[in-house]
Structure 1
């Protein structure tokens, strides 16, 4: 009953505040987002690395996870792109950057009318085109509100199933050659923890003041543009919105690469990651690196 009343209130609100510009055939908007991920440094506990090495790891990880994106959208389509930026000295050169870039998502296109998601992705020198249906989340609309910039936002939550591959699971396995193989009970406990972490809670804030069924990344499906996403350790926050810019960008769906579903692509990444983990275990390091003697 409360959810029904909330939806009715939001619908009435939309009818009152929706300006004429959203009805224009050539309507377009652009939203700028910044992503931040809290680092779990406990993963490095017990390893013999110096504080200076830890600082360098943190700097490199920040350069990977703290990025700026643009979401260009109209009534039915959107394209989500990472903005290119110059790397700070010592943060991303050589094999590290080459390896990390393989886990970076490409341009993501969403069409809510056709329920279509397209994403180009280069993975270790191979070009893929991920083609799938839009992510379907069962949003629970909340009554809480907060201000993001000049926009009044409503809270919504959902539960999301993690893919088979999770970058955070990429860790160097125990060094069996040195007799430090993980005990069976610890391995079992870790497997149980991984199973528990198969699902994550997603909290978003959307604004009916921009009645567009879009959002950053794969998120969509609410009666207003999503301005903030919180899931796991990651936050995506909108910092700027430009409505109907003078110079409009053409929204072009990605089309290059081997066509695969999201599930198939995740399996490819998972297999390659396991190969990398095995290479690390043997002392080979990342692909292209020199093997220790």
Structure 2
């Protein structure tokens, strides 16, 4: 009995020491990499109505460009606030035939106030810039037992259906107790370090996490753009693309994810 008590005392002491040494990150900067399978994305665009000009463009793209387009971004966060910022596209196809396609660009700078469930997004839509203020998107996540390591953090998987039809796979870590993530993804019990939309051929995964103090100046919300809310933006987009045929829904989905 005496030996058992001693063993338990040592074990509890070790667990207490470990718990005290676990580092929970509440401030920092995460670098993300957005990867789009351009071959798969562009192939879906080709149909009998456009194949005479899109098929040659697609064939040329496959011959001269890599399969995956990589774009980078940062997520600066402090407690209950975050700022997602796309970095400039430095790829050689940035100004090419598909360069301005919404599926191959990063269109959003997003300030999220997680405590108040609100956001401010500066969104570039072709030649116009909008400033959207609204409530954070509510995503009904289902947690799983699957885990994987991302940027040095063990992350747990969650799944969801977003916008009625988009299947989402996300990985979050509770070692960063901030309910945010890249783009408009949030609402899990920890920071989202990985997101994949398998049927949309796109993913966002963290490549590094810098645990560092963040000042208020680093978390300034965007201020420029035509002021709208989410419904107002959707109404505007639907009005603009209503005559774009099958391409309309592709554009709408890309601009509202």
Query: Which category describes the TM-score, using the shorter chain as reference length?
Result: 0.7 to 0.9
* Corresponding residue of 2:145: 143
Does the 8 A contact of 1:102 with 1:122 survive in 2? no
Structure 1 residue corresponding to 2:229, chosen from 261, 265, 268: 261
Q: 1:183-202 to 2 correspondence within 5 Å?
A: 198-202=164-168
Deviation at 1:221, TM superposition (A): 1.3
2:2 is the alignment partner of 1:36: no
Equivalent of 1:73, from 74, 77, 81? 77
Q: Report the Cα distance in structure 2 between the residues aligned to 1:77 and 1:51, rounded to whole angstroms.
A: 45
Assess if the C-alpha contact under 8 Å between 1:127 and 1:258 holds in 2. Answer: yes
Q: Does 1:220 align with 2:186?
A: yes
Deviation at 1:44, TM superposition (A): 2.6
Tell me the CA shift for residue 95 of structure 1: 7.6
Q: Is the 8 A contact 2:24 2:175 kept in 1?
A: no
RMSD: 3.5
Q: Contact 2:77–2:214 (CA<8 Å) still a contact in 1?
A: no
Cross-structure match for 1:270? 238
Deviates most, 205-214 or 246-255: 246-255
Gaps of 5+ in 1: 1-14, 162-197, 279-293
Query: What SS class does the counterpart of residue 237 from structure 2 fall into?
Result: helix
Give the direction of change, closer, same or farther, for the CA distance of 1:141–1:84 in structure 2 (3 Å limit).
Answer: same
Which ranges in structure 2 are unaligned for 5 or more consecutive residues?
A: 1-17, 247-257
1:180 corresponds to: none
Alpha-carbon distance between aligned partners in 1 of 2:237 and 2:104, rounded to the nearest angstrom = 9
Cα gap change, 1:53 to 1:131, in 2 (>3 Å): same
1:284 matched to which residue of 2?
A: none
Q: 1:203 to 1:266 in 2, by over 3 A?
A: same
Higher relative strand content: 2
2:173 to 207, 211, 221: 207
Question: Residues 82 and 255 (structure 1 numbering): CA distance in 2 closer, same or farther, change over 3 Å?
Answer: same
Post-superposition offset of 1:111: 0.6
Residues in 1 aligned to 2:68 and 2:228: alpha-carbon distance in whole angstroms: 25
Give the aligned length.
222
